[in-house]
Structure 1
């Protein structure tokens, strides 16, 4: 299969905060946050058609709003953006999605699935000490012109159960290895995992994914100071201190093929501007990657 020496890819991950009917102090309803978020997604992917948008905490009505907002033309026969993912509660439309958006004109979707992060990963379920049902969305995408193939994973781990976060990390590692060793494994040029891990660096999920699973943090792979922009923390809350700010949202890369990735930029995007509206209680994280060979 053809491949180019270098292929720039932008990955944006953002926990957008689900459309709650009982907002926190400082939180605006989804109807007021929606356009702010769409502007963010549009702006930060405008000049890179190879972008992946990986979101968490997305209810079905939010998914429809985002999909429509990214595809404003009603006359085009083909949509610019498509997505993979299902609602975690029933494997269809109920509960939160962890979708991956991509441009079908740029990427051919070879395969995708949703895996439940539980002892019964093939069906909606939760295990161990998880407070909520949790999933990872997995897709294999082949670049239509260059031929490079990417294994992309997007997840949102439990906010309550430390044991469930650890076991979820182990499931994710095992899925990456299964794909790399499977039928499509020889095609895979690089692997990334994005998402809200609800785990800081010193905690179980991050440690398992990096120290045992061998994934590397894009934040740490940036070597030049000028290539890192924005804040360190990715969780901010809505300004009234319901929880302390912390870095729990990540873009991680595989290390079996570490040489296939170069990180040309990393940024934590502000989630509040002059209008005073928080896009979310999390900031978006953006990594500019180059897939080599």
Structure 2
């Protein structure tokens, strides 16, 4: 399994450093995008309550980010010329009570009986994001969760996907309020910055999805311009688009010519798992709605290096042009159900393995 050998196995010992072969070090980054399904009081057929799904969701997040949370920095990275591998988790459909559970779990803290508490930030993971209904704790979050020992938070915003993006509001024909969460993160070891963003587009309104893409791209371009240093500011956008690749939101992203859909240019030999990201809770019955609607986009396009077409080898950091910021090494769609038959969510988690070239 490619991402095991590239990330996890190497991380047990010492992550490879490219600083000895090129002047621009390569920072290993794993991006996860997961719509965890909100904690509803009216579950669908075959949907288990959050209390049963949460331990499975947490287990998957912990498994996919082990060795990537900064806890091994002191033990492994004693040389300042090396840089720790990292993970950034982007979630959708997260209610406040779920965010409290997830952050307590990721931070290895005991469960809280007070679900109204402020979500814990640290000692391992912190989050950016607000509830979409009031800009505080009401409604669904689309949080970005990052390891505090690896990244320094420089800037963050919540943008409402509507004609009034600076305040809680519903846009166009949307059935629900929708948001974009954006963060500028800086590697403490190198000073390299990355623009992380996540969103969840509307499932009802096609006009909303189409116009939301315009708002998202305008926001990313503005922040990229404001926070880029002498090096380019690499961007990723992860989330649930509620749009198949032949529909308006996806096509709007493509037409912008600003970002790449990671799945499209990764060789099939470097993909793992399924293609479908939305399954529903009854896959045998929900066939019309199933498809690839959860994406990881990389940009700006001129900073993304296309990997070898044969897919047999990883692109060497020494071979990339000077304009390159991203090297994409692998892509996977994880299972959302196992032998016990309990679905973690009606979506599958999407994982991108990347190298960020400083």
- SS at structure 2 position matched to 1:55: strand
Alignment counterpart, residue 67 of structure 1, candidates 90, 95, 103: 103
Partner of 1:285: 350
Would you say the 8 A contact 1:179–1:185 is kept in 2? Answer: no
Please list the CA deviations of residues 225-263 of structure 1 after superposition, one character each: whole Å capped at 9, or x if unmatched. Answer: 331000000000001524531000000001142221111
**Counting strand residues as a fraction of each chain, which structure ranks higher?**
1
Partner of 2:72: none
Give aligned pairs, total.
289
How many angstroms does 1:78 deviate by?
Answer: 4.9
How is 1:1-293 mapped onto 2 (pairs within 5 angstroms)?
A: 4-49=24-69, 50-73=86-109, 78-184=122-228, 186=230, 188-223=232-267, 225-239=268-282, 241-242=285-286, 243-254=288-299, 255-258=301-304, 259-293=324-358
Would you say the 8 A contact 1:4–1:146 is kept in 2? Answer: no
User: CA RMSD of the aligned region, Å?
Assistant: 1.7
How many angstroms does 1:213 deviate by?
Answer: 4.4
Higher relative contact order (CA 8 A, sep 6+): 1
Whole-angstrom CA distance in 2 between matches of 1:48 and 1:265 = 16
Whole-angstrom CA distance in 1 between matches of 2:53 and 2:63 = 16
How many angstroms does 1:87 deviate by?
Answer: 0.1
Please list the CA deviations of residues 2-60 of structure 1 after superposition, one character each: whole Å capped at 9, or x if unmatched. Answer: 98421110000000000000000010000000000000000001022310000000000
Point out the structure with max Rg over C-alpha: 2
- SS at structure 2 position matched to 1:239: coil
Would you say the 8 A contact 1:113–1:137 is kept in 2? Answer: yes
Whole-angstrom CA distance in 2 between matches of 1:29 and 1:78 = 27
Please list the CA deviations of residues 136-194 of structure 1 after superposition, one character each: whole Å capped at 9, or x if unmatched. Answer: 00000000002210001100000010101011000111011111222545555310000
- SS at structure 1 position matched to 2:216: helix
Q: Name the TM-score, length of structure 2 as normaliser.
A: 0.78
Would you say the 8 A contact 1:180–1:186 is kept in 2? Answer: no
Please list the CA deviations of residues 49-92 of structure 1 after superposition, one character each: whole Å capped at 9, or x if unmatched. Answer: 31000000000000000010001146xx9510000000000000
Which is further off, 13-22 or 181-190? 181-190
